[in-house]
Amino acid sequence: MRFQAPASVAFPVVALHNRATDTVDSAFIEEPMNELTLDSMLQEHRLFEPAQDFIHRARINAQRLTALQDKANTDHEGFWAEQARNELSWHTPFTRILDSSQAPHYRWFDDGVLNVSHNCLDRHLASRGDKTAIIFEGEQGDTRHISYRELHQQVCRFANALKAQGIGQGDRVILYMPMVPEAVIAMQACVRIGAIHSVVFGGFSAEALKDRIEDAGARMVITADGGHRGGKVIELKAATDLALSRSTLKVDKVIVLQRTGKAVGMQPGRDLWWHDAIRDQPDRCEPAWVGAEHPLFLLYTSGSTGKPKGIQHASAGYLLGAIITMRWVFDIRDDDIFWCTADVGWITGHSYVAYGPLACGATMLMYEGAPTVPDAGRFWAVCARHRATIFYTAPTAIRALMKFGDEIPARHDLSSLRLLGTVGEPINPEAWMWYHRVIGHERCPIVDTWWQTETGAIMIAPLPGAVATKPGSCTLPLPGIVADVVDQNGDTITEPDQGGFLVIKKPWPSMLRTVWGDEERYRKTYWGEFGGRYYLAGDSARRDADGYVWIMGRIDDVLNVSGHRLGTMEVESALVAHPRVAEAAVVGRPDEITGEAIFAYVVLKGPRPAGGIDKALTEELRRWVTSEIGAIARPSDIRYADNLPKTRSGKIMRRLLRAIARGEAITQDTSTLENEAILDQLQGKA
């Protein structure tokens, strides 16, 4: 039976893909929001009902979903209070649900006391102590199985090691780690003692690491001698040393995990090997009982100002979001083997590797390396070898792997899979159908999930036993999430397939609390429009005649490359830092693998290269950006010009740049340009 949503539910608007080019159609806006018109160009009408055998065993069926929605619509705060009481273990139960007195700084369950590590580990010991918590496979083939009891002991030992080095409640600790169990152990150890961790993706450069260390005011960095990725050793300790040598902030300690055996320099008095730090430490550590609103972690996401934003999440509300989405969206069962392929350096790796699965007592897979080592069948080999039942990955990975054909996954036994998921960006229908047919063998539901670093947990997604799916749509908001698509005045768009702004109209527990050290930026970025009434997601969206949400793209200048959000200003700043570059402007162009590719326009301090081509300089600038930010920000295309297209007031006309990057005809008025002749250069005609 197809799920029919209650008419009273406000449904958000989701992803739009350009079916003609099979790429994500991103809407980046330079003008004020009230000048924006969003149109839905193409439709997707295929509908896939949940299989009856899946419905029969599902945690939530259509009737249960309707009951949850009705309860949430009737009593929003009471609904969330019930979830918090049922799903979290409290040291001191809360009596207050939601404090909106300082909105938009919302506080949930703020007089309650708990510990997140206790909720992830201690409460499972009696019933699941011998159950496998983590199955790990390294890129080189090494494997480990860690039980809940063993994980608890290792977390306690490392927590005691942190305390021995002077780390305590409220201290910030930077993690710059490979994708190994010790990364999760370090995260859990930090929250066990009330320290605030900030994980920096191991692919980021030393400069990006330095910026995050300084902004967080970190006292310690936890890293490794290196990690295995793509058949190479990623030299994390060397990058850490470079970051700290450039930093104006003195970090007290650096703890180094010996992962690759590569020789690294150790600074006496500052650096300490992981194995030495935990030597003789007891395997019991009493959790630090903290308030529900105690900061759990900072996670930096790119912003259009060029300075990364330290998104701050609170302990209780964040964990509640991770738990209920594990139960509702992934239909997690006691016998599942859950594999989220995300790195812990991203929010997905926080919510669905380090916290959500453990808080639910699940068994999760961790894999260290690249999906194409030793060949393009590595993901499918890992699934088959460890009998994964739930597989959650990015559309970028799916698109890249599907290009190798159906034969490679066909070599592996994927019969254990029962549920598939996607995260990071909208998935185009062709990739969705390949995923459904080749990986899921047309029997596994696909949960296409929309959420953000800022939301903490999945917000819009199909509940696999209750909601029919459409390729490319994240379908419906979860119970308790009041999402909507509104026009420039903040009014609900009732006409189907009319694009607008995706907003969340009521606070939810896992929402970000602030931007670290910048309250004004928090208010302006997320609550600055519509009179502060709604949380502005930064995405444009539409909903179809069935109320399904389709994400259409970003409404600002944040690029989405392989599911990772990068600010254009960060890339532009990196380019301009090169001694030969005077100006730079960066836009995104559709790419069938990465969703968006980075297209850079560069004005040099010297003469423009003959014909606008300088292959050596282009490669030099690509390497430069990689060293400044990381490989994820490496421009795909660089075009040289004498100037950028600017109005007489000095404003760069970015819409022109986007049109040129996409190979589109320029149809807009260019009479306001300071120099219209520059368009020929930008288009490669001169």
Confidence of residue 675 (pLDDT cuts 50, 70, 90): low
Q: Supply 598's token pair.
A: 């980075």
DSSP per-residue codes, 353-398? IIIHHHHTT-EEEEE-S-TTSSSTTHHHHHHHHHT-SEEEE-HHHH
DSSP secondary structure code for residue 492 in this structure: B
> Which tokens sit at 202?
């191991």
Q: What is the DSSP string of 531-544?
A: GG-SEEEEEEEEE-
Q: Is 78 helix (H, G, I), strand (E, B) or coil?
A: helix
First to last CA, the chain: 61
In this prediction, residue 631 carries a pLDDT of 86
Using DSSP bridges, classify how beta strands 107-108 and 98-99 pair: parallel, antiparallel or unpaired: antiparallel
Tell me which amino acid residue 652 is.
I
Tell me the two tokens of residue 649.
């007031």
At 306 the pLDDT is 58
Strand partners, 107: 99
Judge residue 407's burial from the number of C-beta atoms within 10 Å of its C-beta, 0-12 exposed, 13-18 middle, 19 or more buried: exposed
- pLDDT per residue as tens digits for the range 466-483: 999 999 899 999 999 999
Sole residue written with tokens 């159906």: 406
Tell me what pLDDT residue 403 has.
80
pLDDT at res. 647: 52
What integer pLDDT is reported at residue 21 of this predicted model? 27
Measure the CA–CA gap between 255 and 224, rounded to whole angstroms. 8
> In the predicted model, what is the mean pLDDT of residues 204-229?
94
Instruction: State which fold the 17-115+295-554 domain adopts.
Output: Rossmann fold (3.40.50)
Q: Are 120-288 and 558-682 in the same CATH fold?
A: no
Q: Where residue 569 falls among pLDDT bands split at 50, 70, 90?
A: low
Specify whether the CB–CB gap between 44 and 463 falls below 8 A: no
Where residue 43 falls among pLDDT bands split at 50, 70, 90? low
DSSP class of residue 200?
Answer: -
CB atoms within 10 A of CB 80: 25
Low-confidence winner among 152-156, 222-226, 415-419, 626-630 (lowest mean pLDDT): 626-630
Return the CATH number of 120-288, one of 2.102.10.10, 3.40.50.980, 3.40.980.10, 3.20.20.330: 3.40.50.980
Structure confidence at residue 659 as a pLDDT band (50, 70, 90): confident
96, pLDDT greater than 70: yes
pLDDT of residue 630: 86
Residue, of 74 and 26, whose pLDDT is higher: 74
Lowest mean per-residue pLDDT among 89-98, 289-298, 560-569, 669-678: 669-678
Looking at residue 2, its pLDDT comes to 34
pLDDT of residue 669: 54
Q: Let me know: does 223 contact 240? Beta carbons within 8 Å.
A: yes
Kindly state the tokens that stand for 177: 């780690």
Q: pLDDT grade, residue 667 (50/70/90)?
A: low
Q: Is the pLDDT of residue 74 over 80?
A: yes
| pTM beyond cutoff 0.85 | no
Instruction: Answer for the pair 316, 579: CB distance below 8 angstroms, yes or no.
Output: no
User: Could you tell me how many residues make up the chain?
Assistant: 686
Whole-angstrom distance, CA of residue 555 vs CA of residue 538:
5
Residue 344 DSSP SS3:
coil
Q: Please write down the HEC assignment for all residues of 627-684.
A: HHCEHHHCCCEEEECCCCCEECCCCECHHHHHHHHCCCCCCCCCCCECCCCHHHHHCC
Rounded Cα distance, 291 and 108, in Å: 10
pLDDT at 505: 98
Q: What is the DSSP code string of 18-69?
A: ETTTTEE------S-GGG---B--------BPPPHHHHHH-SS-HHHHHHHH
- Residue 313's pLDDT is what? 98
- Whole-angstrom distance, CA of residue 457 vs CA of residue 329: 11
| Rounded-to-integer distance, Cα 202 and Cα 260, Å | 14
Task: Take residue 68 and report the two structure tokens written for it.
Answer: 């949850």
Which amino acid is it at 147? Answer: S
Residues 6+ positions from 226 with CB-CB distance below 8 Å: 178, 233, 234, 235, 236, 237, 259, 260, 262, 264
pLDDT at 16 > cutoff 70: no
487-509 pLDDT tens trace: 989 999 999 988 889 999 999 99
Question: Region 260-277: what's the mean pLDDT?
Answer: 96
Spatial contact of 104 and 526, defined as CB atoms under 8 Å apart: yes
Pairing of strands 196-199, 172-176: parallel
Any idea which residue has 């150790």 for tokens? 266
- Upper half-sphere CA count for residue 97 (Cβ side, 13 Å): 13
- In which residue are the tokens 């040291």 written? 91
For residue 26, the model assigns a pLDDT of 29
Position 240 scores a pLDDT of 97
In whole angstroms, what is the distance from residue 152 CA to residue 36 CA?
A: 52
Residue of higher predicted confidence among 138 and 576 = 138
Beta-carbon contacts of residue 182 (< 8 Å; ≥ 6 apart): 224, 257, 259, 274
Q: Which amino acid is at 639?
A: R
- The CATH code of the domain at 558-682 is 3.30.300.30
Arithmetic mean of pLDDT, 537-565: 81
Tell me the C-alpha distance between 342 and 336, whole Å. 18
Tokens found for residue 617: 């300089």
Cis amide leading into 374 (omega within 30): yes
Percent of the chain with pLDDT over 70: 89
Model confidence at 359, pLDDT cuts 50, 70, 90, reads: very high
Written as six digits, the tokens of 513 are 């609390």
pLDDT above 70: residue 429: yes
340 three-class SS: strand
Q: What is the pLDDT of residue 12?
A: 29
pLDDT at 557: 59
Mean pLDDT of 65-94: 98
The pLDDT, as a whole number, for residue 616 is 93
- Tell me: pLDDT of 559 over 80: no
Note the maximum CA span of the chain.
74
Q: What percent of the chain has pLDDT over 90?
A: 69
Distance (Å, whole) CA 577 – CA 455: 33
- C-beta separation of 13 from 487 below 8 A: no
* 581-617 pLDDT per residue, tens: 888 888 888 888 878 899 999 988 888 887 778 899 9
Q: So where are the chain's domains?
A: 17-115+295-554, 120-288, 558-682
Q: How many angstroms separate the Cα of 324 from the Cα of each of 219, 329, 345, 507, 584?
A: 33, 8, 22, 16, 44
Residue 608 three-state SS = coil
Confidence of residue 374 (pLDDT cuts 50, 70, 90): very high
Report the mean per-residue pLDDT for the chain.
88
Cross-strand pairs, 553: 540
Place of tokens 């529900």: 292
Q: Is 141 left (phi over 0), alpha (psi -120 to 50) or beta?
A: left
> Among positive and negative, which fits the CA dihedral 394, 398, 399, 401?
positive
pLDDT at position 670, please?
60
Alpha-carbon distance of 528 to 88, in angstroms, equals 33
User: Is the model's pLDDT at 412 over the cut of 60?
Assistant: yes
The answer to whether the beta carbons of residues 674 and 646 sit under 8 Å apart is yes
Predicted confidence at residue 424, as pLDDT, reads: 86
| pLDDT band at residue 686 using 50, 70 and 90 as cut-offs | low
For 22-31, how does the pLDDT look when each residue is reduced to its tens digit (9 = 90+)?
Answer: 222 222 222 3
Residues 6+ apart with CB under 8 A from 214: 247, 248, 249
Q: Strands 132-137 and 143-147, how do they pair?
A: antiparallel
Question: With bands split at pLDDT 50, 70 and 90, how would you rate the model's confidence at 577?
Answer: confident
pLDDT at 105: 97
**Is pLDDT above 50 for 7?**
no
pLDDT for the residue numbered 642: 84
Highest mean pLDDT among 44-58, 456-470, 646-660: 456-470
